[in-house]
Amino acid sequence: MRTAAADWRALGTTVRLVVTDPALLDSCNLLLARHLAEVDAACSRFRDDSELTALDTAAGRPTRVSPLLAEALAVALRAAEATDGAVDPTVGSALDAIGYDRDFTLVREDDRPVALRLRRVPGWRRVRLDRATGTVTVPEGVHLDLGATAKAWAADRAAATLARAAGCGVLVSLGGDTAVAGEAPADGWQIRVQDVMGPVGPPPRAGLVRHRRPAPRRPRHLRHRRPPLAPRRPRPPPHRRPAHRPARPHPLAHGLRVSCDLRGRERGEHGGAGEGGGGAALADTARAAGPAGAAGRAHPHDTGMADVGSCGGRRMTSETLWYANRATGGVCLALFTLVVLLGIAVRLRIRLPGLPRFGTVSLHRTLSLSATAFLALHIGVAVTDGYVNIGALDVLVPFVSDYQPLWLGLGTVAVDLMLAVLITSLLRERVGQRTWRAVHWLAYASWPVALAHGLGTDTGIDWMTWLTVCCAAAVLAALGIRVAHSARAARRTPAALLRTAEGARP
């Protein structure tokens, strides 16, 4: 069976179309060009008139989109969920900030290094897609970029559409994102796999890949038992190997070999990885190749959330540290809120149900120490996370950090106030009751400052917002009771009673 091929440029990349019936090449070309034009009008980040660009001006309001863009967004969100956020469609602003859209001709020889400020991307979970109504809600200031999945999805969709319309075998490649549909040639689809960063040697070998049906989806509890890379879930290609590190070959699919620069999830080490997936594949090459797979395009959107050392070892990911930071921060807020409430209860001599009065005091001290421990853990996680540069000086000196100086500075102020309260509480016998009581009032000041720190850093997280609202309501109610009690006590002092008695004389 003879094949015919055509090449041209679209979507900012090279398009290659191969059909098994040469007589249908021209008509398939027209259909593919029309399909790619529709995808470009819906999903391009570089066109002012695209639907994706129009979402930037929606200011957080639900916006109705075409079924084509809704499908592309659904694929992007499934890919983000399947990769634990390593493929994230909300990186548009970050790409602009690092100059991704600029030209290499702007880089001058021997020029000064370009200073970049790292900012955490908003996160794919903040994008709301309602397929039933065809509406999308993107938070204000968030710019979407579908470059990690759009071309792969477009290749899948185009190959299936052309195969149904033409009734022949079709291969569509969009810059390396390859998809096949229909009947394959007698000798199979020939796809060249090359390790461009490998050592100089013989010409690259061509892998012969035959079209096969996908393997059945395995039960979730068995997915972690599959051998590494057999079959590989389609993933973005690995990081480029540094020049000082020699390539160490590992077997990959029918004798083809690549260097060891594979991220942990690409080795199948991710416990939840399974067959099939979210559409962010290399145009679902695994469906065409079975275990073999095919190399894809260079992936510019890897946010570095999965950090791996040499082959075979993994370190804690930045995303894990981010979640740990938010979790410990939420626990700190809840514990310090309980400490404030119990402090007011102790002051007003309120007995908790089931506890004697001294039990309330003991619980207040225990929760204070527990909150301090979680605060130390929260700070340690923030300093350990290498995504942003937070040093020991930033923990103690407010408003000197390059990363969110205002909100991080408020957190530092709260830490300093809490340290003063903790130290004077531990040295209460030495500093005296009057000094301890005066410093202890700082706890009332540290709590709202810590609350402002949390609001400034985590307002986009729903559960954190609700936790903040509940804590603020509880503290405001307790303070209201405290003020009312103080007002009643002031009216019962001897001087107040004397003034009342003098006013009652005839």
Q: Are residues 239 and 342 in the same domain?
A: no
In this structure, are 348 and 274 located in the same domain?
no
Tell me, yes or no, whether 404 lies in a domain: yes
- Strand duo 206-209 + 189-192: pairing: antiparallel
Of residues 341, 325, 342, 303, the one with CA closest to residue 464: 325
Task: Select from 374, 390, 370 the least CA-distant residue to 382.
Answer: 390
**pLDDT score at 156:** 92
Q: What integer is the mean pLDDT of 325-330?
A: 88
CATH code at 209?
Answer: 3.10.520.10
Taking phi over 0 as left and psi of -120 to 50 as alpha, with beta for the rest, 189 belongs to: beta
* 378 and 271 together in one domain: no
Residue 323: count of CB within 10 angstroms of its CB: 12
Same domain, 401 and 463: yes
Question: Are both 280 and 341 inside the same structural domain?
Answer: no
Residues 6+ positions from 486 with CB-CB distance below 8 Å: none
Within a domain: 322: yes
**Amino acid symbol at 271:** G
SS3 percent helix, strand, coil of the chain, rounded to 5, is 50, 10, 45
What is the domain count for the chain? 2
Rg of the Cα atoms in the chain = 31
Does the residue 365 lie in any domain? yes
Distance between CA atoms of 24 and 27, rounded to whole angstroms? 6
Assess whether 253 and 391 both reside in one domain: no
* Among the listed residues 258, 256, 267, the one whose alpha carbon sits nearest the alpha carbon of residue 309: 267
- With a CB cutoff of 8 Å and minimum separation 6, the contacts of 100 are 300
Q: d(Cα 303, Cα 285) in Å, to the nearest integer?
A: 23
Please report the DSSP string for 199-235 in residue order: PS-SPPPEEEE---PPPPPPPGGGGGGSPTTTTPPP-
Please give the torsion angle defined by the CA atoms of residues 451, 456, 458 and 462, in that order, rounded to the nearest 10 degrees: 80
Distance CA 19, CA 21 (A): 6
469 vs 207: which has the higher pLDDT: 469
What's the angle, vertex CA 432, arms to CA 429 and CA 437, rounded to 5? 110
Q: Is residue 499 part of a domain?
A: no
Interacting residues of 294 by C-beta distance below 8 A, sequence separation 6+: 178, 191, 193, 207, 209, 282, 285, 288
Domain check: are 267 and 331 in the same one? no
Residue type, 315: R
Helix (H) or strand (E) holding 59: none
Does 273 lie in the same domain as 330?
A: no
Identify the three-state secondary structure at position 416.
helix
- Give the separation between CA 115 and CA 99, rounded to whole angstroms: 11
Looking at this protein, which amino acid is placed at residue 423? Answer: I
DSSP state string for 232-268: PPP-PPPPPPPTTS----EE-STT-EE-S---GGGGT
What are 163-187's pLDDT values in tens digits? 998 889 999 998 888 999 988 888 8
Q: Which residues contact 327 (CB under 8 A, 6 or more apart)?
A: none
Q: Looking at residue 97, what is its pLDDT? A: 73
Residue 402 dihedral angles phi and psi, to the nearest 5°: -75, -20
Q: Is residue 119 part of a domain?
A: yes
Average pLDDT over the chain, rounded to whole?
73
> Is the predicted pLDDT of residue 36 greater than 50, yes or no?
yes
For residues 337 and 471, membership in a common domain is answered with yes
Percent of the chain topping pLDDT 70: 66
Residue 192: its H or E element? strand 189-192
144 in a structural domain: yes
Non-local (6+) Cβ contacts of 240 within 8 A are: 197, 261
| pLDDT above 60 (res 363) | yes
Structure tokens at 295: 């190399």
Asked whether residue 162 falls in the same domain as residue 270, the answer is yes
Q: Please, where are the H alpha helices in 116-180?
A: 150-166
pLDDT in tens, 68-87: 889 998 998 988 888 878 88
pLDDT for 99: 72
Q: 308 lies in a domain?
A: no
Question: What are residue 137's phi and psi, to 5 degrees?
Answer: -120, 115
What would the pLDDT profile of 427-442 be if each residue is shown by its tens digit? 887 888 888 888 888 8
> pLDDT per residue over 104-126, tens digit each?
666 666 666 666 666 677 788 88
Q: Which amino acid is at 5?
A: A
Give residue 226's pLDDT: 41
What does residue 179 show for φ and ψ, rounded to 5 degrees?
Answer: -140, 145
Q: Which DSSP state fits 143?
A: -
Name which of 13, 74, 91, 87 is nearest 266 in CA terms. Answer: 87
Mean pLDDT value across residues 411-435: 85
Does the pLDDT of residue 190 top 70, yes or no? yes
Predicted confidence at residue 184, as pLDDT, reads: 87
Task: Give me the domain span that covers residue 345.
Answer: 318-490
Q: Are strands 13-19 and 63-64 parallel, antiparallel or unpaired?
A: unpaired
The pLDDT score that the predictor gives to residue 171 is 92
Helix ranges restricted to H, 51-149: 51-54, 67-82, 92-97
Which of residues 145 and 218 earns the better pLDDT score? 145
- For residue 424, being part of any structural domain is answered with yes
Per-residue pLDDT averaged across 346-362, rounded? 80
Same domain, 82 and 184: yes
Q: Is the peptide bond before 231 cis (omega within 30 degrees of 0)?
A: yes
Q: Are strands 135-137 and 4-10 parallel, antiparallel or unpaired?
A: unpaired
SS3 (DSSP) at 171? strand
Phi-psi region of 96 (alpha: psi -120 to 50; beta: other; left: phi over 0): alpha
Query: Which of 6-10, 191-195, 347-351 comes out lowest in average pLDDT?
Result: 191-195
Whether residues 258 and 364 share a domain: the answer is no
